[in-house]
Amino acid sequence: MGILDEDVARVREATDLVALASEHIALKRVGRRYQGLCPFHSEKTPSFSINPELGVFHCFGCQKSGDAITFVREIEHLDFVEAVERLAARAGITLRYDDASYSRERRHRERLHEAVAEAVAFYHALLLDAPEAGAARRYLRSRGFDGDAARRFSLGYAPEGFDALSRHLQAKKFSRDDVVAAGLAFVNRAQKLQDQFRGRLMFPIWDARGDAVGFGARALDGRPPKYKNSAESAIYHKSRLLYGLNWAKAEIVARGEVVICEGYTDVMAFTLAGVPNAVATCGTALADDHFLTLKNLARKVTLAYDADAAGQAAAERCYQWEQRFEVQFQVADLPAGRDPADVYRDDPAALERAVTRATPFLEFRIDRLLAASDLSTLEGRARAAEAAARLVAEHPSDLVRDQYVMKLAGDLEIDPDSLRGAVARSLASPQSSREPARPGPQRVTQRARGAVDRRELDALRWALLAPEAMSGRLDTALFADPVAREAFDALVSWPWHECLERASPEASALLQRLAVEEPPAVADAADAAARVFVNLVEASSQRLLATMLRRGDDRSVEVKALLDALVSARADEHWSAAGEIAERLVGWITDGGDRDG
């Protein structure tokens, strides 16, 4: 069940991987390849490379590799079908599915998106023009947001009416089932549709690709709950969504930083104040799923919560996220007790300054602690030192802890060793709630055992990048390494992308790594290809000769004579002669020494 293979192939062919990757990272052309900083792990020196001719990428740091579909899956955390659909929409390709029920499900999801988009337009028009939306407009003005802001963020107003939206959507030919499944209404006890949101200021929510999925709705008359979100549905999963990500994604990538807020108006405030890389959770706390999305966009995470709330955040989770997702947490320098939207109303420029002056998470917590402490007495400094030591002990890194010990010792005029002792006691305390740090992401190496022989890699590289030079020369039997052998066999058996799909993960990764390497510059391509061929055959012939000698095979003398001649021609760089001898030896190798003479 899924998309037809030929349509998947069309999407691959129609997608420019370099253009696609350039939307997320900066690429520079180096020879025939493009290189940049890997979007999948933190690095300072570019190790991410793209082969535009073959349409594949490989990172020599974290070892991730693949094609355009893989890239989209990794960047946006999509399944295979979603990634293909995303690229198909980008290329203007209509996809076909091999299962009718599957096609119906995809169409159903599209219909729900359309229903929510129509609701966005309906609510927005009411906010701008309807007299009954006056309270919503007044509330926005009280927060410092004018009509242009309302239009920019497509804000809306849900009327008090019993079923105004439901009737509008049904008039637009949406079925009752669609309206309910989209979370816009429910069936009441009278078996009639009743709007889910009434008398509220509406904040539309889009997913990362810009499809309307739901709403956050604020009460205007004080009745609980203050905020009400769309119910979970086939298209709305609040634990995975970030409000504003559809607008902010490009800026987050460009700046390498994401600003995370608590509320919808906070995102609006930051964006209007010149910080367009702000997002907010949709009525939930930060969770792993959020960072699975964000880690591929930016490595710096700035928390822009109310300052007191940020100080009370669970340190263990932040430190675990720092290690697990290779992100760096810092806290915006907001005034205590004020949220970003409040700051924006009085001084919009202060929001940008707050982000610029953000401090690392632990430093922020310690600064808040010391600011609230009495440091004018020896006893007060000692109490502050003990409390600060408990905060320092929560950090998982020995080196970071010791740096803060040294800084605190100077600030509080306390002996560093005494402070280290306090940190050690906190670490050893059975009452400590600090969880052991999770290990950071494991670097995936090609294999745990030894690397593939260089001569076999050279041969594979030429077979991949200059197949015409190796045509008719190479054979699977020349490769001793099982992964290299499988990679070569797949390369000569199937078209490129099918080869990657059919080969084992190890063989596929090896081929993709070689594909993005820049071909070595050579003065004479024919001699260079012959050299690679001869070196590979020499190594294989040595293995064959050793096997024949162990078996006591008298014909080993013939193989040895050929091998000696090959070595002599190679030493004299007579590549034409060496190539002819190598071709004779290949016959012995492919027969495993069982030739008739």
What is the spatial distance between Cα 362 and Cα 194, in angstroms, rounded to a whole number?
Answer: 49
Which has the higher per-residue pLDDT, 278 or 464?
A: 278
Expressed in angstroms, the distance from the first to the final Cα of the chain is 54
What is the spatial distance between Cα 372 and Cα 383, in angstroms, rounded to a whole number?
Answer: 12
The strand pairing partners of 279, in sequence order, are 260
Q: What are phi and psi of 243, to 5 degrees?
A: -65, 130
What is the spatial distance between Cα 509 and Cα 504, in angstroms, rounded to a whole number?
Answer: 8
Which has the higher per-residue pLDDT, 339 or 313?
A: 339
What is the spatial distance between Cα 321 and Cα 437, in angstroms, rounded to a whole number?
Answer: 10
Q: Output the 3-class SS for 429-496.
A: CCCCCCCCCCCCCCCCCCCCCCCCCHHHHHHHHHHHHCHHHHCCCCCHHHCCCHHHHHHHHHHHHCCH
Specify the pLDDT at position 312.
52
Specify the pLDDT at position 371.
87
> In this predicted model, what pLDDT tens digit does every residue of 503-514 receive, in sequence order?
888 888 899 988
88-102, 382-396, 520-534: range with highest mean pLDDT? 382-396
Assess whether pLDDT exceeds 50 at residue 294: yes
Whether a cis peptide bond, with omega within 30° of 0, leads into 225 is: yes
> In this predicted model, what pLDDT tens digit does every residue of 120-172 receive, in sequence order?
999 999 999 999 999 999 999 999 999 999 999 999 999 998 999 999 999 99
**2-16, 189-203, 463-477, 513-527: least confidently modelled range:** 513-527
The strand pairing partners of 252, in sequence order, are none
Percentage above 70 pLDDT, the chain = 91
- Mean pLDDT of the 185-213 span: 93
Specify the pLDDT at position 592.
65
- Strand residue runs (E) in 338-405: 359-360
Global confidence as pTM: 0.62
Assess whether pLDDT exceeds 70 at residue 430: no
Q: Mapping DSSP to helix (H, G, I), strand (E, B) and coil, where does residue 258 land?
A: strand
- Mean pLDDT of the 496-509 span: 86
Q: Looking at domain 5-91, does it have CATH number 3.90.580.10?
A: yes
> In this predicted model, what pLDDT tens digit does every residue of 509-557 receive, in sequence order?
899 988 888 766 666 777 888 889 999 999 999 988 888 888 888 888 9
What is the spatial distance between Cα 69 and Cα 286, in angstroms, rounded to a whole number?
Answer: 28
Q: Please state, in angstroms and as integers, the Cα–Cα distance from residue 150 to each residue in 129, 156, 204, 377, 477, following that order.
A: 12, 8, 11, 53, 69
**71-85, 182-196, 400-414: least confidently modelled range:** 71-85
Domain boundaries, the chain: 5-91, 109-229, 242-360, 373-428, 454-590
What is the spatial distance between Cα 298 and Cα 303, in angstroms, rounded to a whole number?
Answer: 13
What is the spatial distance between Cα 588 and Cα 597, in angstroms, rounded to a whole number?
Answer: 9
Residue type (1 letter), 5: D
What is the spatial distance between Cα 257 and Cα 304, in angstroms, rounded to a whole number?
Answer: 12
Assess whether pLDDT exceeds 80 at residue 439: no
CATH fold for the domain made of 242-360: Dna Topoisomerase Vi A Subunit; Chain: A, domain 2 (3.40.1360)
CATH fold for the domain made of 109-229: DNA primase DNAg catalytic core, N-terminal domain (3.90.980)
Q: Mapping DSSP to helix (H, G, I), strand (E, B) and coil, where does residue 329 land?
A: strand
Q: Please list, in sequence order, all residues whose beta carbon lies within 8 angstroms of the beta carbon of residue 101, skipping any fewer than 6 positions away.
A: 1
Q: How confident is the model at residue 435 (pLDDT cuts 50, 70, 90)?
A: very low
The strand pairing partners of 214, in sequence order, are 205
373: closest CA among 341, 400, 411, 346? 411
Specify the pLDDT at position 210.
87
What is the spatial distance between Cα 336 and Cα 354, in angstroms, rounded to a whole number?
Answer: 12
